[in-house]
Structure 1
Amino acid sequence: MICPHCSANLLYKERTGNTCSKCRKSFVLEPKSAPHGLSDVGLRRAVERLTADGRITVTVGQLHYATGRRHLVGGAVPERRGSLGCAIPALLAGLPTLGFALPHPAGAGAVAALAGLALVAIGIRSAVRWTRFKPMKPRELLWSADDFRRSVTDPWQRGYGVLPRGLVTEDSVRPRPPAAPVAAVLCEDRTVRAFLQANAFEERHRVVVVPDPASVPAGLPVVVLHDAGAEGCLSVGRARAALAGHRVLDGGLPPRAVMAQPKALQLRQPDVLPQTMERLRGRGGPRRGRTPLARRGLVESAGRRTAHRAAGRRDPGRRAAGRRRAGRGRPGRGAAPGARRRLPHLARAEHVTTPRSSR
């Protein structure tokens, strides 16, 4: 590992007792025992990547997920559907059999032709299936969030006094709602709520971030944030049932946004009910496939659109994007033909699902 003080490259025997043998200064994290193999230098670099060199503030929970992708248990290796061990012998046996059957169209040749066709079909099918992978099994992080805090951030605060710049704990973030909010953002995830509040999302967009439907102020439109898992997708329906009289918009992460991403992290969640999984066709546990910076942009887009709707006007940024996608019409003739039909695809482009009644 690299010493965080003198930048010396230390072997394990040169850093016993969490002390550098070169400069005699102590460090906090030992990669061989710390969660996710983190060292002091590795933790600082991970925070710099997540915060985009200090542009945003991230939480300890987000750091836990970001650094744990290489330390998974439970089906982390994808499996192929077919097998080359079956495809190759079937093709090697089927092709010569067909070659033997061609000069002998009757009797034994007909039987050989049928057998050859069957072997070739089996070989081709197995080879095609080999190019495809089975759906990834749910995975779990090797270290839980509580263990990560006890073994990484708590010792760091004791050793250095403060966390790295741009990293905060969920408990240290205090909400600062505006005096006259124009909308409410409902988010059950404590880490995401702290992330939004730490980046002054409430003040900049004049919204209030709440943890449950009971905390939503009366008369405000509501944007529901959720992950792409089974329970997350159903949270919008639960919010609409609990907030009768409120306008409820789905601003969460749709499954299609992460299904095709190879780096999306699917987590096992044992408390998901079987009937929930059946209703959602096995979408599984929460899927996290967005960086904090991308997540902030997604939420800001949904909040800005809700604020404009509450004020009775359209979002100018979305209107400009609609013109770019639909194409401008001739002067005095409005938008090009078919523009109205293409505008609903804007919601998919921004990864925000809007209710059918609002289109």
Structure 2
Amino acid sequence: MICPHCSANLLYKERTGNTCSKCRKSFALEPKSAPHGLSDVGLRRAVERLTADGRITVTVGQLHYATGRRHLVGGAAPERRGSLGCAIPALLAGLPTLGFALPHPAGAGAVAALAGLALVAIGIRSAVRWTRFKPMKPRELLWSADDFRRSVTDPWQRRYGVLPRGLVTEDSVRPRPPAAPVAAVLCEDRTVRTFLQANAFEERHRVLVVPDPASVPAGLPVVVLHDAGAEGCLSVGRARAALAGHRVLDGGLPPRAVMAQPKALQLRQPDVLPRTMELLRAEGGLGEAELGWLAEGWWSPLAAVPPTALLDAATRAVERLAAAVRAEDDPAEVRRRALAVGFLTWPEQST
């Protein structure tokens, strides 16, 4: 580990008690125990990358996703209940044993028969279980968001007093809504709302960033930002149902954008309920490949999109909404303007 104070390269035994043995100064994070193997120097570098060297502000939740994408737990594929490694040896041992027992019904033959039957039974049971699968384990980050905060940002603030420049907590940003908003941005993810507000998105675009349909003022058009997941995709339909009379536009992260991007963070939850999939099919707008991906429980958090790409995509969504409002009675003009601002594809994600 590199000491954040004197830049000495320290062995584990040279930094006991979170103190550098060279300069005698303490540090916040021990990489052997901190989430995602973070050290003080590593955390500063991660924040510098996420903030584009200080040009934007990011949240602790975004840092959690960015540093945790290589630290996942849970299966990407279902696990079998049984093992052929047990079934085959048991059958290979049990069947010859039974063959020996048949011509010797008494004495050693009887013992061999019992042993053979037991081995064959074990082999058959293991083989049958091998054809069945365990319930799917969720695929998620090794450390939860709460654990990340308790183990990373809280110790950092205790040691240094403030977070690194450009990093904010979700409860530290005060919204600054414009006096006369022209639209609303609806997003259920608190991390994303805080990120937009911390970067003066409301003031720059004259929009309100709100958490739910009930917070949308009367008459304002709405753009919905959401995760690439079953519930996220359904949130657009829920918003339209709750906001009758409002223009509601889907500006969320589409599953196809995640599926096409190998570096995107793909998490998995238990299989989606059939009723949920029926609703998604009824709403339309998703291809069969996307529906299959969602049905298997795959999803990707909007907050895991690289911050600069997320800010660009949110800007394009608002521009698309403005274009639709200006050309409300001309569908061809809506599409022409949308293509001009590039809303049909999300920016490529990068680490």
Select which of 292, 295, 301 maps to 1:281. Answer: 292
Deviates more, 1:265-274 or 1:163-172: 265-274
Letter in 2 for 1:348: L
Is it true that 1:305 corresponds to 2:320 in the alignment?
yes
Identity percentage of aligned residues: 83
Call closer, same or farther: CA 1:346–1:169 in 2, change over 3 Å.
closer
Q: Unaligned stretches of 5+ in structure 1?
A: 80-135, 324-341, 352-359
Is it true that 1:348 corresponds to 2:334 in the alignment?
no
Is it true that 1:158 corresponds to 2:158 in the alignment?
yes
Residue by residue over 1:273-307, the C-alpha shift from the partner in whole angstroms, topping out at 9 and shown as x without a partner, is: 44224654341243146211100000011112323
Please say if residues 4 and 27 of structure 1, whose CA atoms lie closer than 8 Å, have aligned partners that are also in contact: yes
Deviation at 1:243, TM superposition (A): 0.4
Select which of 288, 294, 311 maps to 2:309. Answer: 294
SS in 1 for 2:45: helix
Please say if residues 313 and 343 of structure 2, whose CA atoms lie closer than 8 Å, have aligned partners that are also in contact: no
Q: CA RMSD in A?
A: 2.9
Inter-partner Cα distance in structure 1 for 2:8 and 2:328: 59
Letter in 1 for 2:31: P
After superposition, residues 196-211 of structure 1 pair within 5 angstroms as: 196-211=196-211
Deviation at 1:225, TM superposition (A): 0.3
Is it true that 1:49 corresponds to 2:54 in the alignment?
no
Q: Unaligned stretches of 5+ in structure 2?
A: 80-135, 281-290
SS in 2 for 1:220: coil
After superposition, residues 52-91 of structure 1 pair within 5 angstroms as: 52-75=52-75
Please say if residues 138 and 285 of structure 1, whose CA atoms lie closer than 8 Å, have aligned partners that are also in contact: no
Call closer, same or farther: CA 1:343–1:49 in 2, change over 3 Å.
closer
Deviation at 1:348, TM superposition (A): 2.3
Inter-partner Cα distance in structure 2 for 1:4 and 1:303: 41
Residue by residue over 1:145-179, the C-alpha shift from the partner in whole angstroms, topping out at 9 and shown as x without a partner, is: 00000111011111100000000000001111100
SS in 2 for 1:348: coil
Runs ≥4 residues deviating over 6 A: none
User: What is aligned with 2:35?
Assistant: 35
Deviation at 1:223, TM superposition (A): 0.2
Deviation at 1:187, TM superposition (A): 0.2
Deviates more, 1:153-162 or 1:298-307: 298-307
Call closer, same or farther: CA 1:43–1:350 in 2, change over 3 Å.
closer
User: What is aligned with 2:112?
Assistant: none
Call closer, same or farther: CA 1:161–1:344 in 2, change over 3 Å.
closer
Inter-partner Cα distance in structure 2 for 1:195 and 1:67: 17
SS in 1 for 2:292: coil
Inter-partner Cα distance in structure 1 for 2:341 and 2:156: 46
Deviation at 1:137, TM superposition (A): 8.3
SS in 2 for 1:185: strand
Please say if residues 223 and 250 of structure 2, whose CA atoms lie closer than 8 Å, have aligned partners that are also in contact: yes
User: What is aligned with 1:91?
Assistant: none
TM-score normalised per structure 1: 0.70
Inter-partner Cα distance in structure 2 for 1:4 and 1:149: 20
SS in 2 for 1:31: coil
Inter-partner Cα distance in structure 2 for 1:272 and 1:191: 24
Please say if residues 185 and 222 of structure 1, whose CA atoms lie closer than 8 Å, have aligned partners that are also in contact: yes
Please say if residues 322 and 346 of structure 1, whose CA atoms lie closer than 8 Å, have aligned partners that are also in contact: no
User: What is aligned with 1:257?
Assistant: 257
Number of equivalences: 272
Call closer, same or farther: CA 1:146–1:350 in 2, change over 3 Å.
closer
Please say if residues 320 and 343 of structure 2, whose CA atoms lie closer than 8 Å, have aligned partners that are also in contact: no
Please say if residues 31 and 37 of structure 2, whose CA atoms lie closer than 8 Å, have aligned partners that are also in contact: yes
Inter-partner Cα distance in structure 2 for 1:46 and 1:19: 22
